A and B are shown apart, each in its own frame.
Chain A
Amino acid sequence: MPRTGDSMRGLAVFIADIRNCKSREQEKKRINKELANIRSKFKGDKQLDGYQKKKYVCKLLFIFLLGNDVDFGHMEAVDLLASNKYTEKQIGYLFISVMMHHSNDLYKLVIQAIKNDLSSKDPVHICLALTCIANIGTPEMAEEIGDEVPKILTSPDTLHGVKKCAALCLLRLFELKSDKFIHAELSSRLIALLSDQHLGVVTSACSLIQALVTANTVEYKGCVSLAVSRLSRIVSSTDLKDYMYYFIAAPWLSVKLLRLLQSYGQPTDSAVYERLKESLETILNRATDPPKSKKIQHTNAKNAVLFEAINLIIHYDSDAALMVRSCNLLGGFLNSKETNLRYLALESLTKLAVSDFSRKAVMKHQETVVQALKNERDLSVRQRAVDLLYAMCDRDQAEEIVGELLAYLEKADYSIREELVLKIAILAEKFAQDYKWYVDVVLNLIRIAGDYIADEVWYRVTQIVINRDDIQAYAAKTVFEALQAPTCHENMVKVGAYILGEFGNLIAGDERSGPIVQFKLLHSMFHLCSNQTKYILLSTYIKLINLFPEIKGDIEEVLGNDNQLRNSDAEIQQRAMEYTKLSQIASSDLLATVLEEMPQFTERESSLLAKLKKKSNTLVKERDDGDNTSLQNVELSSAPVDVGGSSLLDLESPSGTAEIPEPALESGTPQDSPVLNNYSAPPAAVAAAPPAPAAEPSLLDMFGGAPPATDPTKVQVVTGLIECNEAAQPNFKAFICSRNNGILFENEIIQIGVKSEFTGFEGKLQVFYGNKSPLPLQGFNTTLFISPKDQPSLRLEGQKVTLLISAGAQIPQTIKATAVAAFGETPLLQISFSAAGTAHTMVLRLPLLVNKFCKGTGMGAQDFFMRWKNLNLPAQECQKVFKASRPMDNDLVKGKVQGFGFQVLEGVDPKPDNLVGAGIIVCEGSQVGCLLRLEPSKPAQMYRMTVRSSREGVPELLVNLLSQDL
């Protein structure tokens, strides 16, 4: 086609002018001149004809392309839409779709013009309108024109050129307003488009159906067999006339069809699947055929189809033979000259590496992949190699792969280091056979890429060291050595400080790492560190005082130094001050209690995985298993409860010693950081706990109860058993007044145990499912149920468990509970699975009771009676007389009441047999004070129990619970 003499001279001259400009200023000047010219023309009295408008609008487009703001001309463009000349209409639509946003006032006119064109007899006009909607559709258009488009699309008279546009136009409208276009009649006609004679129509329809399928999978299921037969026809044909692209039949359509099929599982109809399998095999076979053309386009198109076919095979994940063949083909591509192919092959292999069918076949290429990591020039290809190594890593290969990744880390691009560090840390933890190796790897990470260590990485290593006593001495020794290096990253100081503070004593025997040496080494870094690290170091110092009383003097000197006590940072001041006082006042026994070794961290989902997921949502999903699954919200309160509004009333505390919520003094330490929560909190909590006024103000009371380092809510533990039938659960009672760990359920197939922990308004349950049978439990699934009444009062969040528990294995599930308000019923846990072909379902009550959030509180007699009298409304009291179900032993009853959550107050009630207690139910944002009076009558073997509370309904809850177990 020659360059036609059709367009606008003024435009060409203007463009030439712009191109002749020698500087940006000159260009700007010329553009402004032109803008002024066009503006005056548009505003002028003289009526412009269509050609002139077209020319000016086109100039504006060019000016816009150069990156200049154009804020007029819209009206003129809309005028052009109404022209009956095709070229003018066309440029009008172009202007609108490039430059106009639908917030523009003129949009109503645009919609009107589109409507007119849709009803035009001229197909080219219809196409223009449809194209415009497809490009810039708005919800209003869907509303006003939505009904027209499906008609055009499904009418037998419509030309295929128009049909193509209509299909994509409908796709846009569907995305804007999906509910309008879902009905059975339409879906069957749309599916039929897949058999259209014109391949262009099928291509567009394929995109449309792909989108519709995601919204309505069932209704469009019919597209599978049509797509398979279409694909089969394309694959087997050698001559599709115009749709042959460099000897490949309709590659785009093939890719689209293969994508569409990935919306569904493997076809259940065996005839359909056989046909599909045949096509897939043909595609795989062709990959190794000699090329029909030397042109890159030929191989490109061929491979586009091949990769998509492999994606489908991976998606089905069922045919080992096909998957292994795919692996081998892709393995061949790893040595291809084409960078694109190497990139895509690595990517697909990563997906294959997580399937059991092809895992081994992928492993064969490990060496090549490692080579790619070393030699590949393209960063993005190297990154794919990292992903693949991460995905294919297993216990046997871990040391080698982690070693390679560490080597790569040293020269890796800075932009990917953080992610790489996370991946290495996760692999090292997951596949560690020897935890010494794990510690070495993480310390190496810090050494090599200290700046790129996310906090989660070093939190995690300290957690693991604390939980495994077999490596603590080794860890202490290793960090001590690492800290001696001439340069040492701050993150290393953090880990070192933490570990030496806990386990420094384990290496103190050697005089080269004696107490004073450790302290001096740590303190030599102090002045170089950020405040965050200084906080940790200060905590370490006080811990060292406990570990090594002989260096108390040296440490007190540092703590009491004005550099700390008068530091500009309040947190440093506070820590230094409190630690100094603690060290001076407390006896060594008390110190040992306050500063005792950190308790073990309960296992929960690795914070590293969460972090990595946040960073990249690439392949983490597939790597998850049992203990590392993503948190799944099992139950969420539908509406947030307004707790702030009523909290003041609820703070009505019986003793005046209501627990003050932990102040947010952990500046710089994220609230959710597992390590620091406990470690850096003591000073804050010590400061926050007010002295108990009534009781003897002993130091033990001051310190013993409060610091989170020693578990503040000590709950007793008992073993019990629950049956599915919750009406008769004799042993569940045992959970009421007591401990939280034990077997929930056990039969010959499964054993379900629970461990729980409550802190403030938060509880954490770990449920362990153990498979006792010789066969795997399949389709394993758990669901939590909260009574509708309690839905806003209790929030649960739990991990998902794996679908399969192999014989003899045990998997944990973590459930987090938050008490938003006092709740009545215990949540239920439904478990279903199939064992040896039989389906099992059971429902268990979880030992999550409202009194688990109750915390005892002390007060004097006067205080008690004053509060008791104030709570005199009928709804604030509940009384019950009941028969004792156990021997009425005073000590036993006292133990039960305390285990329930009340503090027993001595000397309040004049009758020695009577028992009074006080407690606070800690909920999120509110606290409910509760008082108890229990009067036993031994001759009658009866109790009279009275509970008063500031919150209605709570007395009944507590009475009902506690009376069950007395």
Chain B
Amino acid sequence: MIKAALIFNNHGKPRLTKFFTYYTEEMQQQIIRETFLLLSKREDSVCNFLEGGTLIGGSDFRLVYRHYATLYFVFCVDSSESELGILDLIQVFVETLDRCFENVCELDLIFHMDKVHYILQEIVMGGMVVETNQTEILTHIEAQQRIEKQEAGIFKPSGRMGGAPARALSAAKSMAPNVNLPKLADLQNISLPSFKKL
């Protein structure tokens, strides 16, 4: 079973946290911190599995993770899952994100937190893999998006809503040079490496 799916960036800032077993909020935060500490020390050449930290369940649990540019994708799994299988699952997740957001970058995850959740939901449900076929996952998400558009179109004048987040995103990106957050130049690095290379 997959106990938790976490995404955080190189500084340990959570970008997605999804727990499939109940932990108190405090525990959740501790688990995220502990996991980040465990992973941030690891070089990229070492193996992608390690025994889970003390918080998330001891030796029966493993963290399976991938590090893409600025983001860590971590799945915490028990011994009933195949490690390589989970590694591939992370890949499917990331590829799907990439297709949905067109060259996904960290900012996409931040501004579309709800969507990231929905995409994960199409892949993992209740801690179990539900679908691995990317085409099917995308079909579902597109269907959802259509409903979303319809509902927005019917109930809200499109002029008021249309393009708002895109504008906000570009606004955020253009503001970036003035703040400590990633500079425009860095944004290229933030975007995930092209998968053809991997």
Contacts and interface: CB of A to CB of B under 8 A. Distances in A.
Interface of A: 1-9, 11-13, 15-16, 19-20, 22, 50-51, 58, 61-62, 64-67, 69, 85-87, 90-91, 94, 98, 101, 124, 131, 133-137, 161, 164-165, 168-169, 171-172, 199-200, 203-204, 207, 210, 242-243, 245, 250-253, 255-256, 259, 295-297, 300-301, 303-304, 307-308, 339-340, 342-344, 377-378, 380-381, 616-618
A169 B85 contact: no
Contacts of A253: 132
Contact of B163 (A5, A199, A252, A618): A5
B88 A9 contact: no
A941 B41 CA distance: 88
A66 B83 CA distance: 29
Given A7-B164, A7-B165, A380-B50, A131 B88 contact: no
B114 A165 contact: no
Nearest to B180: A22
30 contacts: A5-B165, A6-B149, A8-B165, A12-B111, A12-B168, A15-B110, A15-B168, A19-B179, A61-B113, A65-B17, A85-B151, A87-B148, A134-B125, A135-B20, A161-B140, A168-B125, A169-B126, A199-B133, A200-B132, A242-B135, A242-B136, A245-B132, A255-B85, A301-B84, A304-B83, A307-B84, A340-B87, A343-B47, A381-B47, A617-B60
A124 B147 contact: yes
Interface residues of B, number: 86
B162 interface: yes
A146 to B, nearest CB: 15
A362 B70 CA distance: 41
Given A380-B51, A618-B59, A12 B169 contact: yes
B154 to A, nearest CB: 9
A23 to B, nearest CB: 10
Contacts of B112: 3, 7
Contact of A165 (B108, B125, B163, B167): B125
Given A6-B161, A7-B164, A251-B88, A91 B126 contact: no
Nearest to A127: B140
Top 5 nearest A-B pairs (CB, nearest first) are A12-B168, A134-B126, A304-B84, A9-B164, A339-B47
Given A1-B99, A91-B114, A203-B130, A22 B45 contact: no
Contacts of A136: 22
Nearest to A90: B118
Contacts of B164: 5, 7-9, 12
Contacts, number: 233
A61 B101 CA distance: 21
Given A1-B102, A13-B168, A343-B47, A252 B142 contact: no
A304 B77 CA distance: 15
B130 A168 contact: yes
Nearest to B143: A124
A9 B100 contact: no
B40 interface: no
A16 B91 contact: no
Contact of B84 (A101, A203, A344): A344
A234 B20 CA distance: 30
B91 to A, nearest CB: 6
B48 to A, nearest CB: 5
A538 B37 CA distance: 47
Contacts of B117: 94, 98
Interface in B91-141: 91-92, 99-102, 108, 110-114, 117-118, 121, 125-126, 128-136, 138, 140-141
B114 A304 contact: no
A204 B130 contact: yes
Interface centre among A51, A65, A172 (most CB of B within 10 A): A65
A15 B172 contact: yes
Nearest to A343: B47
B116 to A, nearest CB: 10
Contacts of A58: 113-114
Contacts of A20: 175, 179, 181
A12 B179 CA distance: 17
A19 B59 contact: no
B114 A61 contact: yes
Contact of B46 (A8, A210, A378): A378
B132 to A, nearest CB: 5
B121 to A, nearest CB: 6
Given A9-B165, A300-B84, A343 B133 contact: no
Contact of B133 (A61, A137, A242, A617): A242
A301 B85 CA distance: 7
Nearest to B20: A135
A308 B86 CA distance: 13
A54 B78 CA distance: 35
Contacts of A3: 101-102, 108, 112, 165-166, 169
Contact of A203 (B88, B92, B132, B156): B132
Contacts of B43: 377
Contacts of A339: 45-48
Contacts of B140: 161
A98 B113 CA distance: 12
Contacts of A204: 128-130
Nearest to A259: B80
B114 A4 contact: no
Residue from the set B15, B84, B113, B148 with the largest chain A CB neighbour count within 10 Å: B84
A207 B101 CA distance: 30
B161 A9 contact: yes
A245 B117 CA distance: 23
A256 B132 CA distance: 12
A172 B126 contact: yes
Contacts of B59: 616-618
A6 B145 contact: yes
A164 B133 CA distance: 13
Contacts of B100: 1
B136 to A, nearest CB: 6
B12 to A, nearest CB: 10
Most buried by B among A6, A15, A242: A6
A478 B165 CA distance: 77
A51 B148 CA distance: 12
Nearest to B18: A98
B93 to A, nearest CB: 13
A168 B162 CA distance: 37
B82 interface: yes
Given A3-B166, A4-B145, 18 more contacts: A1-B100, A5-B166, A6-B145, A6-B148, A9-B164, A12-B165, A16-B175, A22-B180, A61-B114, A168-B126, A199-B133, A252-B129, A255-B82, A255-B85, A304-B88, A339-B45, A339-B48, A378-B45
Given A1-B145, A19-B181, A9 B168 contact: yes
A215 to B, nearest CB: 15
B144 interface: yes
Nearest to B134: A242
A61 B112 CA distance: 11
Q: Pick from A12, A22, A243, A245 the residue with the most CB of B within 10 Å.
A: A12
B55 interface: no
B14 A67 contact: yes
Contacts of B25: 64, 69
B165 A51 contact: no
A340 B80 contact: no
B156 A51 contact: yes
A87 B20 CA distance: 22
A304 B43 CA distance: 23
A295 to B, nearest CB: 7
B171 interface: yes
Among B118, B134, B151, the most chain A Cβ lie within 10 Å of the Cβ of B151
A91 B134 CA distance: 23
A377 to B, nearest CB: 7
Nearest to B23: A101
Nearest to B117: A94
A19 B51 CA distance: 33
A69 B49 CA distance: 31
